[in-house]
A and B are shown apart, each in its own frame.
Chain A
Amino acid sequence: MIEIKNLVKKYNDKIILNGINADISDGEIFSIMGPSGSGKSTFIKCLVKLVFPDSGRIIVDGEDVLGGKNEFELARMRRNFGYLFQDGALFDSLNVMENVCFGLRYLTDIESSKYERIAKEKLSLVGLKDIQSLRVSELSGGMKKRVALARAIASEPKYILYDEPTTGLDPVSSEKISELIVSMQEKLDITSIVVTHDLKLAFTISDRIAMLHDGKFDLAGSPGDLKKSEDPFVKKFIKDSICHDMKDVKNK
C-alpha cells in the first residue's frame, strides 16, 4: 500500500507537482496519464526518492519514505521497487544478460549459476530471444526498452514503476507488454504504477487511471469513469489521444 499525501515538488521555484494525493492499494495497476512535461516521471521518481520532494508525505507499507531516512534505510526501502526508466538507463559497460541479472546479485539470494536461465526467461517474457550476449550499443531503441523492462521485473519486487513501457514499440510488442504487466499482477500480486501516453494500454490494463494536470491528479478512477468524465481537460485529452491514434492507423 502506497499512500501519497499532498506531495509538492518544485524545480527552481517552478512548481511541477502541486499537492498530489493518492492511495495505491496492493495488487493494483495504477496508470498515470498526462501531457508531456506535466511531471509524471518526476512523480514516480519521488516515490523511490530519486527526486526529493519539497513537502508532503509518501507512506509505503506504513513507513514514511520521506522522513529523515539514512542511506541504509533508504536502500532497504528501495529494494521493494522495480523501476523502468523512460530511456532505459541500461548499463552500457555490461552486456544484455549482465544488465537483466544486475539486481539479482544485490536483491536476492539466487545463485549466479541460475542467472542465465533467469535472463532467458525474463527476456522471452518481453518478446526477445538470443540476445543475452549482445552489448547495449548493439540494441535498437525498442529492444533497449524491453531489456530495461526485463531488468526491472527480474527480481520480482513488490512494486514496479513503469515509465512509458510501450513508447516506441510496435503494436505486437506493446500487446505483449500489457499482457506481461497484467500477468505480473495476477501471478505474483505485484502492484504496478504505469506512466503512459498509450490510451489503449491504459484502458486495457488499469484498475485506475490518474490524469496529471497542473501538478494535481484530476481524476483517479476506473477506465469507465474516465470515459464518462465531464472534466473538460480529461475529455479533450482522451479525444486528442484517440484522434492521434486514428491518424497513425490512417498513415499505415
Chain B
Amino acid sequence: MRYFFQQLGHGFIPLFKATGKVTLMVKSVIVWLFKSKLEFEEIIKQSVRIGSDSLIVVCLINFFTGMVLALQTGYSSKSLFNEPLYIGTIVGFSIVKELAPVLTAIVVAGRAGAAVTAEIGTMKVTEQLDALHTLGTNPARYLLIPRYIAFIVTLPLLTVFADFLGISGGFVVSLVKLGVPSTVYWNDIFTFMDISNFMHGFLKSIFFAFIIATVSFHKGLGTKGGAEGVGKATTDSVVTSMVLILVFDYFISAAFVFVGII
C-alpha cells in the first residue's frame, strides 16, 4: 500500500517539475512582452505559416464532419419521427460549439505545433538558442512572443473557417441526400442559434491556441540529445497537446456554461 503511494508520488514529480518550468516560461514571455517592441513582420510570417500549414486539412476535415453529422442525425431522426427534423440546428450546435474548435485545434497541434517543437528543438540541440542569448536577445523575445501571438490569432480564424465549412457540409448532405429544403436548414440554424453559441467555440479556440503554443514551446525548449531527441520531443508535443485539448475542452466548456456563454 505504502509502495503504491510512493510510486504514485514519484509519478507526480515530473508533472510538478514541468508545471514549474512552464510557469517560468510563461512568466518570462510576459515580462519580455512588456520590455521589447513587437516584431510585426515575424508575427505575420509565423501566422501565415501556421495558417497555410493547416488550412486545407482543417477545411476538409470540417466539411466532411458536417456532412456525416447531417447524415447520421438525418437518418436517426427519420427512423424515429419519419422525417429529418432540426438537422441544421443539430449540425450547427455541434460544429460551432464543439467540433470545429476541437478538430481545428487538433489539426493545428499536429501540424504547426509539431513544426514549432521541431524547429525550437533543433535550435536547442545545435546551440542556436544559446546563440540568441549571446547576441542581445533571448528565445522568449525572439521566438516565443511572435509565435504565441501567431497561434492566438490564427487558430480562432481557422475555427471560423471550420464553422463555415462544417455547416456547409451539413447543408450539402441535407439538401442532396435528405431532401431538406435549404430555407428549412438555414432557418433551423438561425432561429435557434445566436452569437453566444458562436462565441462559445470561438473563445475556446483561443484557449486551445494557448495550450498548443505552450506545450510546443515547452517540449521544444526541453529537447535533449540530438536528432533523436528532436523526434521524441515532437511526438511528445503532439500527444500532450491533443490530450490537454480534449481534457481542457470539458473544463473550459463547463466554465463558459457557468458564466452564461452557452
Contacts and interface: CB of A to CB of B under 8 A. Distances in A.
A82 B135 CA distance: 7
B127 A87 contact: yes
Interface in A55-112: 71-72, 75, 78-79, 81-83, 85, 87, 89-93, 102-103, 105-107
B134 A91 contact: no
Interface string A215-229: 000000000000000
Shortest 8 CB-CB distances between A and B: which pairs? A106-B136, A103-B135, A89-B127, A83-B134, A107-B136, A89-B131, A106-B137, A50-B130
Contacts of A82: 134
A48 interface: yes
B130 A102 contact: no
A151 interface: yes
B216 to A, nearest CB: 16
Given A71-B28, A71-B31, A72-B35, A89 B133 contact: no
9 contacts: A78-B133, A83-B131, A87-B126, A91-B128, A91-B131, A92-B122, A103-B135, A103-B136, A155-B135
Report the contact-size class of chain B (Cβ under 8 Å from the partner). 10 to 19
Contacts of A75: 133, 136, 138
Contacts of B130: 45, 50, 83, 85, 89
Contacts of A102: 135
A150 B138 CA distance: 20
Contacts of A105: 136
A91 B35 CA distance: 24
Interface of B: 28, 31-32, 35, 119, 122-123, 126-128, 130-131, 133-138
Of B32, B123, B128, which is in contact with the most chain A CB atoms at under 10 Å from its CB?
A: B128
A155 B135 CA distance: 9
A106 B134 contact: no
Q: Is the interface of B mostly helix, strand, loop or mixed?
A: helix
B93 to A, nearest CB: 43
Nearest to B129: A89
Contacts of B123: 91
Given A89-B130, A106-B135, 13 more contacts: A48-B134, A50-B130, A78-B134, A78-B136, A79-B136, A85-B131, A89-B131, A91-B131, A92-B122, A106-B136, A107-B136, A151-B135, A152-B134
Contacts of A83: 130-131, 134
Nearest to A102: B135
Nearest to A48: B134
A85 B31 contact: no
Interface in A37-65: 45, 48, 50
A77 to B, nearest CB: 11
Contacts of B138: 71, 75
Contact of A89 (B119, B126, B136): B126
Contact of A48 (B122, B133, B137): B133
Interface string A189-217: 00000000000000000000000000000
Interface string A144-156: 0000000110010
A102 B32 CA distance: 19
Contacts of B122: 92
Interface in A138-170: 151-152, 155
Contacts of B131: 83, 85, 89-91
Contacts of B31: 71
Contacts of A71: 28, 31-32, 138
A221 B32 CA distance: 43
Of B123, B131, B133, which is in contact with the most chain A CB atoms at under 10 Å from its CB?
A: B131
Of A48, A82, A103, which is in contact with the most chain B CB atoms at under 10 Å from its CB?
A: A103
